[in-house]
Amino acid sequence: MPTIKQRRREPAERAEAPSTPTDSKPAQRRSTLRRALTPWAFLAPALVLFAYFKFYPIGYGIWLSFFDVAVFGENTWIGLDNFTAVFQDTFLQQAFWNTAVYVVLAVGFSALIGFMLALALEGQAYHIRIVRTAVFLPAVVTVAVVAEVFRILYHPTASGPLNSLLGLIGVGPLGFIDDPGMSLHSVIGMHIWKSAPYDMVIFIAGLAGVDRTLYESARVDGASWLQRVRYVTIPQIRFAFTIVITLGIIRGVRVFPEVYTLTGGGPARSSEVIMTYVYRVSFVDFDLGYAAALSTLLFLLTAVLTAAFLFLRREKA
């Protein structure tokens, strides 16, 4: 992203100082060690906390996946049995494909709509701020409560709120979450409603850094609004897309409360995702070893997807 580097504004007043790094060599040599340690000093607080509360517990979780875990008593080492069991688990396979559909649609549309919201609602004007706050509200409401409302919106009779609206244009009534063919998409719909505003906030923060002067020159050049967005805005906030999509994938793969509270995975397992299944293995069957194995696979899947995405972004950028 070469353009962005050159025109980034300086908030500090002393940025005017001439930047000719000439006489810093002795200092460099003296502080080689210090320089090597500096990044680690900055990282130390985070790494200590992660080590205790993330790395160790996660490592332990992965370790457990090689055991038949006794809830109370000694675990039994069973090697890869938990992992080989995955391949015979037809239940899981459906959950896997549902999750894939979920991630693609939910992340894609949330990012798209979030970006459009950001374009429409960035700015400091009073009314814009009010609307922006209103639009952001879905992001702060607990999923379970949102689900309560969507359950009403999705009421499957002709008198249901959404069906009433659709009825005005002669569509429906649809079954929504009551229809095994639509339930997954209905959950995704709720997810987008809740996370598009979330994404919007990140895009707005990103847009704050976009150089307005480039708009002007593009406009002078006769570029249309769409062209300006395409060739001026998007390249400058590509990193915001990276953030939104990376985090979207990570959250999407292990989506749980949205599905659990709205449909519980049903009807007829039509909206079952990996995590609702993991939850069931953990807290209905209490097969903690198998749950750990499923989680480990989920972990690896997410890591590969994320790494692939970040790698592709880097190639492109």
Instruction: Return the residues of window 211-270 that contact other proteins according to CB under 8 A.
Output: 211-213, 215-216, 218-219, 225, 228, 239-240, 242-243, 246-247, 250-251, 253-254, 256, 260, 262-269
Distance CA 267, CA 150 (A): 16
| CB 218, min distance to other proteins, A | 8
Per CB under 8 A, 201 contacts other proteins: yes
| CB 238, min distance to other proteins, A | 10
Per CB under 8 A, 284 contacts other proteins: yes
Report the residue number, 55 or 97, with the smaller CB distance to other proteins.
55
Provide CB contacts within 8 A for 277, sequence distance 6+. Answer: 91, 92, 95, 265, 294
Among 136, 167, 234, 309, the residue binding other proteins under the rule CB under 8 A is: 136
Q: Are 269 and 94 in contact (CB under 8 A)?
A: yes
Q: Are 57 and 287 in contact (CB under 8 A)?
A: no
Per CB under 8 A, 97 contacts other proteins: no
Q: Which two tokens stand for residue 188?
A: 């995704």
Exposure letters 235-258 (e unless 16+ CB within 10 A, then b) = ebbbebbbbbbbbbbbbbbbbeeb
Per CB under 8 A, 109 contacts other proteins: no
End-to-end CA distance of the chain: 6
The span of 92-100, 101-109, 133-141 binding other proteins (CB under 8 A) equals 133-141
Report the residue number, 49 or 171, with the smaller CB distance to other proteins.
49
Q: Which two tokens stand for residue 92?
A: 């899981």
DSSP annotation of 53 reads: I
Total binding residues for other proteins by CB under 8 A? 147
| CB 108, min distance to other proteins, A | 18
